[in-house]
């Protein structure tokens, strides 16, 4: 099951900036990006992307918003924008998580077997999603550096500075350009009429390092 088209896709999860794209016909038909924060740039980016696509808000049939983990402010701003727009103009609302999307992207690029995808969190911790040999991702969780370093299997990230902290980390390219293809993969998108920011830290205290271990 996929969103109706055209679909407006929003990502405010990065530490800096916001991205908006119009997804139609299995590809991006327009994109807009700003280095400003989501609070300042979300609406302007949405307007710019729609203008490039030659569309009006009334033409949209769905929204897809990133719910994190990532920048809580950016995610909340973009999620609230989507909730507001969907209330004014009833549309399908879908959500996605950047680490799950990245995991799907690297599998499409040829990554096989079990692996982990990670991103920076708060207080020198890291967000982790583990993918088993069948390609099924775990829920996002927040881990200490030592826990991440102890994971068995490939460690993939888009954070260019990660190898300074996690020597085994392999830096890969971001998934944004591939999202139209990634979104067609099972389990990446899910329907959620009232999107909220994902709090991966909620699992921090109970997570066990024995879960989702890959092959050394």
- Domains and their CATH numbers in the chain: 7-97+174-199 (3.30.420.40), 99-173 (3.30.420)
The per-residue pLDDT string of the chain (216 residues; one tens digit each, 9 = 90 and over) reads 789 999 999 999 998 899 999 999 999 999 999 999 899 999 999 999 999 999 999 999 999 999 999 999 999 999 999 999 999 989 999 999 999 999 999 999 999 999 999 999 988 899 999 999 999 999 999 999 999 999 999 999 999 999 999 999 999 999 999 999 999 999 999 999 999 998 766 543 333 334 333 333
Long-range own/partner contacts, residues 184-188 (CB < 8 A, 24 or more apart): 184/2, 184/26, 185/104, 185/107, 185/108, 187/100, 187/104, 187/136, 187/137, 188/96, 188/100, 188/101, 188/104
pTM: 0.90
Alpha-carbon Rg for the chain in angstroms: 17
Q: Give the distance from CA 69 to its chain's centroid.
A: 8
């Amino acid at each position: 099951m996929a969103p109706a088209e055209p679909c407006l896709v929003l990502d405010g999860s990065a530490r800096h900036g916001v991205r908006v794209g119009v997804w139609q016909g299995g590809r991006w038909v327009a994109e807009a990006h700003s280095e400003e924060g989501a609070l300042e740039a979300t609406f302007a980016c949405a307007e710019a992307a729609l203008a490039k696509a030659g569309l009006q808000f009334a033409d949209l049939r769905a929204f897809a918003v990133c719910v994190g983990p990532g920048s809580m402010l950016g995610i909340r701003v973009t999620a609230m924008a989507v909730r507001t727009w969907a209330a004014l103009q009833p549309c399908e609302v879908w959500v996605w998580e950047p680490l799950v999307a990245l995991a799907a992207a690297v599998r499409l690029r040829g990554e096989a077997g079990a692996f982990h995808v990670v991103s920076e969190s708060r207080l020198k911790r890291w967000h982790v999603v583990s993918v088993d040999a069948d390609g099924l991702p775990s829920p996002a969780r927040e881990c200490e550096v030592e826990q991440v370093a102890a994971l068995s299997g490939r460690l993939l990230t888009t954070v260019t500075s990660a190898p300074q902290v996690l020597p085994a980390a392999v830096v890969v390219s971001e998934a944004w350009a591939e999202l139209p293809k990634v979104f067609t993969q099972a389990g990446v998108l899910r329907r959620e009429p009232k999107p909220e920011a994902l709090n991966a830290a909620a699992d921090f205290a109970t997570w066990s390092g024995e879960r989702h271990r890959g092959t050394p």
